[in-house]
Amino acid sequence: MLIDQYYTASNGRISFSREQGSNFAKQVADDFNPIHDTDARRFCIPGDLLFSIILAKYGLNRHMEFDFTGMVIDGIELVLPEPSAELVISDTAGKQYLTIRRSGEGTCSVPLIDRLTRKYVEFSGHTFPHILVPLLAGESVMINPERPMVMYESMTIDLDRLDIENPSLEMDHNEVVINGKRGEVQLAFNLVEAGNIVGRGRKRLILSGLRDYVQQAMDDIVVNLNQRKLAFQPQ
């Protein structure tokens, strides 16, 4: 499947190297958030990679909720539970990182899951700067250029039906709440096939370390991001 090279599986457990997590972020999601760099001090595995693995291992249901409760770092082994309506993903010490609730009709169609995974992850990876920068500028705030902290907290997806082949994701609307140096952003999107809406989704992000908006500083962040993309070499 699409994501097989980005994690290691053994005896019902999965783990990640920094290179696997970083390459998924950059190669699949086009996500150059520094927190996914192999040399990042606060490195974490992309939440979209965990989302992708859950779909690959347990299938796609018409209704799914994902709640992220911890940052997965390299070397941690996550235990995959037996299939059920509620899945709790924990490490071998019992610390919880992700809870999934799922209901409704399900499918394990590899082509559909691969296509939906790729479309969602590409959409999600472009959150910054394409969506967040103008959204935050409208609130006169910006992320900290030195320590950008944008955390993926939760996501829901609702599909009207599963007899679809290649849905695209299109932005519906965004919601933002700023409280001092912290912010909450909700991105609402539609899943569309052949011009018809076949599902809906919502992604929630938590931002910290916000500061007053400075156009030149924000421009520098975007320029640096684009330079990092051009310089990237898969490991």
Mean pLDDT, residues 202-215: 92
Q: Nearest 5°: phi and psi at 185?
A: -125, 135
Q: Does domain 4-231 have CATH number 2.40.160?
A: yes
Tens digit of each residue's pLDDT (9 = 90 or more) over 171-199: 999 999 999 999 999 999 999 999 999 99
Residue 191: which of 80, 26, 63 has the closest Cα?
A: 63
Integer Cα distance of 29 and 144 in angstroms: 22
How confident is the model at residue 13, as a pLDDT?
96
Residue 34: which of 174, 143, 155 has the closest Cα?
A: 143
Integer Cα distance of 223 and 62 in angstroms: 39
How confident is the model at residue 235, as a pLDDT?
59
pLDDT band for 1, please (50, 70, 90 cuts). Answer: low
Comparing 68-72, 110-114, 146-150, 208-212, the range with the smallest average pLDDT is 146-150
Residues 6+ away with beta carbon under 8 Å from 196? none
- Neighbour order of strands in the sheet with 149-159: 8-10, 13-15, 78-79, 86-91, 96-107, 60-68, 149-159, 196-208, 182-193, 168-179
The residue ranking higher by pLDDT, 156 or 1, is 156
The residue ranking higher by pLDDT, 222 or 114, is 114
How confident is the model at residue 132, as a pLDDT?
86
Mean pLDDT, residues 16-39: 89
Tens digit of each residue's pLDDT (9 = 90 or more) over 56-91: 999 999 999 999 998 999 999 999 999 999 999 999
Comparing 33-37, 102-106, 135-139, the range with the smallest average pLDDT is 33-37
How confident is the model at residue 205, as a pLDDT?
92
Contact criterion met (CB below 8 Å) for 73 and 7: no
